[in-house]
Chain A
Amino acid sequence: MSLHLTIDGEPVEVTLVRTGDRFEARVGETAYAGTLRRHGETMRLQLGDRIVAATVVRERDEIWVALDGEIYRCAAAAEERDGGHAGAAHSPRVTAPMPGKVLDVVVREGQTVAAGDPLVVLEAMKMETVASADAAGVVRKVHVTAGTLVEPGQLLVELELS
Chain B
Amino acid sequence: MPPVTKLLIANRGEIAVRIIRTCRAMGVGTVAVYSEADADAQHTRLADTAVAVHGAPGRVDYLDVPALLAAARATGADAIHPGYGFLSENAAFARAVLDAGLTFIGPSPDAIAAMGDKVAARARMQTAGVPLVPASGVLAAEPLVFTEAAATIGYPVVVKAAAGGGGKGMRIVHDAAHLPDAMRAATREATAAFADGRLYLERYLQRPRHVEVQVFGDAHGRIVDLGERECSIQRRHQKIVEETPSPAVSPELRAAMAEAAVRAARAVGYVGAGTVEFLLDETGRFYFLEMNTRLQVEHPITEWITGIDLVREQILVARGEPLSFTTVTPRGHALECRLYSEDPAHGFLPATGTVRALGIPSGPGVRFDGGIATGTVIGVEYDPMLAKISTWGTTREEARGRMLVALRDTVVLGVTTNRDYLRAVLEHPAFVAGETHTQFLAEHLEGWRPARRAGRDLAAVAAALALMAPASGDGPALAAEPSPFATLAGWRAGASS
Interface residues of A (CB under 8 A from B): 1-5, 7-8, 10, 12, 14-23, 25, 27-28, 30, 32, 36-41, 43, 45, 47, 52, 54-61, 63-72, 74, 76-78, 97-101, 124-127, 129
Q: Tell me the bound Cα distance from A156 to B497 in angstroms.
A: 45
Interface residues of B (CB under 8 A from A): 346-354, 356-357, 359, 380-384, 408-409, 411-415, 419-420, 450, 452-453, 455-468, 470-475, 477-478, 484-485, 488-497
Give 10 closest A-B pairs by Cβ, nearest first: A20-B473, A59-B414, A57-B356, A69-B408, A2-B494, A64-B413, A27-B457, A72-B459, A125-B350, A76-B490
**Is A60 within 8 A of B349, CB to CB?**
no
Across the interface, which residues of B come within 8 angstroms of A40, CB to CB? 477-478
Q: Tell me the bound Cα distance from A99 to B472 in angstroms.
A: 42
With A1-B497, A59-B414 already in contact, the answer to whether A16 and B461 are too (CB < 8 A) is yes
With A5-B460, A61-B489, A76-B490 already in contact, the answer to whether A125 and B465 are too (CB < 8 A) is no
Across the interface, which residues of B come within 8 angstroms of A30, CB to CB? 457
With A32-B461, A39-B477, A40-B477 already in contact, the answer to whether A59 and B488 are too (CB < 8 A) is no
Cβ contact of B462, chosen from A21, A54, A59, A126, cutoff 8 A: A54
**Is B494 within 8 A of A38, CB to CB?**
no
Q: Tell me the bound Cα distance from A100 to B473 in angstroms.
A: 46
**Is A56 within 8 A of B384, CB to CB?**
no
With A20-B471, A58-B484, A66-B413 already in contact, the answer to whether A45 and B458 are too (CB < 8 A) is yes
Cβ contact of B497, chosen from A7, A17, A54, A61, cutoff 8 A: A17
Q: Tell me the bound Cα distance from A10 to B451 in angstroms.
A: 12
Cβ contact of A74, chosen from B384, B459, B492, B497, cutoff 8 A: B459
Q: Tell me the bound Cα distance from A132 to B359 in angstroms.
A: 38
Q: Tell me the bound Cα distance from A63 to B356 in angstroms.
A: 10
Across the interface, which residues of B come within 8 angstroms of A15, CB to CB? 497
Q: Tell me the bound Cα distance from A2 to B359 in angstroms.
A: 31
Q: How far is the CB of B362 from chain A (nearest CB, A)?
A: 14
Find the B residue at minimum CB distance from A57.
B356
Q: Tell me the bound Cα distance from A23 to B250 in angstroms.
A: 59
Q: How far is the CB of A96 from chain B (nearest CB, A)?
A: 11
With A18-B471, A72-B453, A125-B350 already in contact, the answer to whether A100 and B497 are too (CB < 8 A) is no
**Is B380 within 8 A of A125, CB to CB?**
yes
**Is A74 within 8 A of B413, CB to CB?**
no
Q: How far is the CB of B477 from chain A (nearest CB, A)?
A: 7
Q: Tell me the bound Cα distance from A1 to B350 in angstroms.
A: 37
**Is A19 within 8 A of B457, CB to CB?**
no
**Is B465 within 8 A of A16, CB to CB?**
yes
Q: Tell me the bound Cα distance from A32 to B411 in angstroms.
A: 25
Find the B residue at minimum CB distance from A125.
B350
Q: Which of B346, B353, B455, B496 has the most CB atoms of chain A within a 10 A radius of its CB?
A: B455
**Is B474 within 8 A of A64, CB to CB?**
no
With A67-B458, A70-B455 already in contact, the answer to whether A39 and B463 are too (CB < 8 A) is no
Across the interface, which residues of A come within 8 angstroms of B414, CB to CB? 57, 59, 64
Known interface pairs A4-B494, A59-B353; 4 further A-B residue pairs with C-beta atoms within 8 A, sorted by A's residue number:
A55-B413, A58-B485, A76-B491, A99-B352
A-B contact pairs, 27 of them (CB 8 A): A3-B493, A7-B456, A15-B497, A18-B471, A19-B471, A20-B471, A28-B457, A32-B458, A36-B465, A39-B475, A55-B413, A56-B465, A57-B484, A59-B414, A60-B353, A65-B463, A68-B458, A72-B455, A74-B459, A74-B463, A76-B488, A97-B346, A98-B349, A124-B380, A126-B383, A127-B349, A129-B347
Find the A residue at minimum CB distance from B351.
A98
Cβ contact of A63, chosen from B381, B456, B463, B477, cutoff 8 A: B463
Cβ contact of A69, chosen from B381, B409, B468, cutoff 8 A: B409
**Is A21 within 8 A of B473, CB to CB?**
yes
Q: How far is the CB of A75 from chain B (nearest CB, A)?
A: 8
Q: Tell me the bound Cα distance from A17 to B461 in angstroms.
A: 11
With A55-B359, A124-B350 already in contact, the answer to whether A101 and B413 are too (CB < 8 A) is no
Q: Tell me the bound Cα distance from A7 to B493 in angstroms.
A: 16
Q: Tell me the bound Cα distance from A58 to B486 in angstroms.
A: 11
Q: How far is the CB of B444 from chain A (nearest CB, A)?
A: 22
Q: Tell me the bound Cα distance from A76 to B376 in angstroms.
A: 25
Across the interface, which residues of A come within 8 angstroms of B380, CB to CB? 99-101, 124-125
Across the interface, which residues of A come within 8 angstroms of B474, CB to CB? 21, 38
Find the B residue at minimum CB distance from A18.
B471
**Is A1 within 8 A of B496, CB to CB?**
yes
Q: How far is the CB of A129 from chain B (nearest CB, A)?
A: 7
Across the interface, which residues of B come within 8 angstroms of A8, CB to CB? 450, 452, 456
Q: How far is the CB of A130 from chain B (nearest CB, A)?
A: 11
**Is B475 within 8 A of A25, CB to CB?**
no
Q: Which of A28, A39, A76 has the most CB atoms of chain B within a 10 A radius of its CB?
A: A76
**Is A25 within 8 A of B494, CB to CB?**
no
Across the interface, which residues of B come within 8 angstroms of A77, CB to CB? 492
Find the A residue at minimum CB distance from B496.
A1
**Is A66 within 8 A of B463, CB to CB?**
no
With A16-B465, A55-B411, A125-B383 already in contact, the answer to whether A74 and B488 are too (CB < 8 A) is no
Q: How far is the CB of B460 from chain A (nearest CB, A)?
A: 5
Cβ contact of A65, chosen from B354, B408, B409, B462, cutoff 8 A: B462
**Is A63 within 8 A of B485, CB to CB?**
yes
